[in-house]
Amino acid sequence: MDPGAVRPGVGGPLLVAFAGLPAVGKSTLAARVGVALHAPVLPVDPVERALARYGLVGDVPGMAAYGAVAGLAEVQLGLGLSVVVDAVNPVASARGLWHDLAERAGVPLRVIEVHCGDEAEHRRRVESRPPDEHPPTWEQTLLRRAEYEPIIGPRLVVDTAVDTDPLPGILAYLR
């Protein structure tokens, strides 16, 4: 293990919630943090896709997907594991799930807001995603950006357009 990594059990479990628009690098960073923490990574997108396969689409299933992931995270936290949540978390009500869960579980919540400060690069990432992931179009991403509510409270903001590896800074924030 990387000597700078957060070791499981040191300081107890954490709930780490990633937030940010599609294609900014959240999933990549969440996976890397999950490996460093030896923690499960719980992404909301596959849950939303599974609900859609059963005909559940729209706003309510979107929140249902967040609720399902929160339920799974609660089980993992109850086992004494840290958990990494990978989700857009565009509105305060979605983010409130993580605050409530952390409080119920008695664990610290660490929010990591990811963005891509280079709009041309962000658009390239959106438009180059594999179609089997059912990615939003650039126009849909811009609509989501317009609806994205600012995050109030402590968080680490990571710009993936910067040409340095953000993982060391993220792990320092989690300590």
Query: Is residue 48 pLDDT above 90, yes or no?
Result: no
Q: 174: part of which helix (H) or strand (E)?
A: helix 167-174
The four Cα atoms 172, 115, 40, 83 give a dihedral, to 10 degrees, of 60
The residue-averaged pLDDT of 52-80 equals 85
Query: Is residue 142 pLDDT above 60, yes or no?
Result: yes
**Pair 19, 114: CB distance under 8 Å:** yes
Q: What percent of the chain lies above the pLDDT cut of 90? A: 75
Q: 84: part of which helix (H) or strand (E)?
A: strand 83-86
**What pLDDT is attached to residue 131?**
82
**Pair 129, 23: CB distance under 8 Å:** yes
- Torsion sign over Cα 25, 154, 167, 44: negative
**What pLDDT is attached to residue 57?**
67
Query: Is residue 172 pLDDT above 90, yes or no?
Result: yes
Residue 48 CA, chain-centre distance (Å), reads: 14
**Pair 37, 30: CB distance under 8 Å:** no
Query: Is residue 2 pLDDT above 60, yes or no?
Result: no
Tokens of 80: 């004494």
Q: What are the structural domains, with CATH classification, of the chain?
A: 15-174 (3.40.50.300)
The residue-averaged pLDDT of 79-85 equals 97
**What pLDDT is attached to residue 4?**
39
Q: 156: part of which helix (H) or strand (E)?
A: strand 156-159
Tokens of 32: 């890397």
Residue 63 CA, chain-centre distance (Å), reads: 15
Enter the pTM of the model. 0.89
Bigger pLDDT: 131 or 80?
80
Bigger pLDDT: 54 or 160?
160
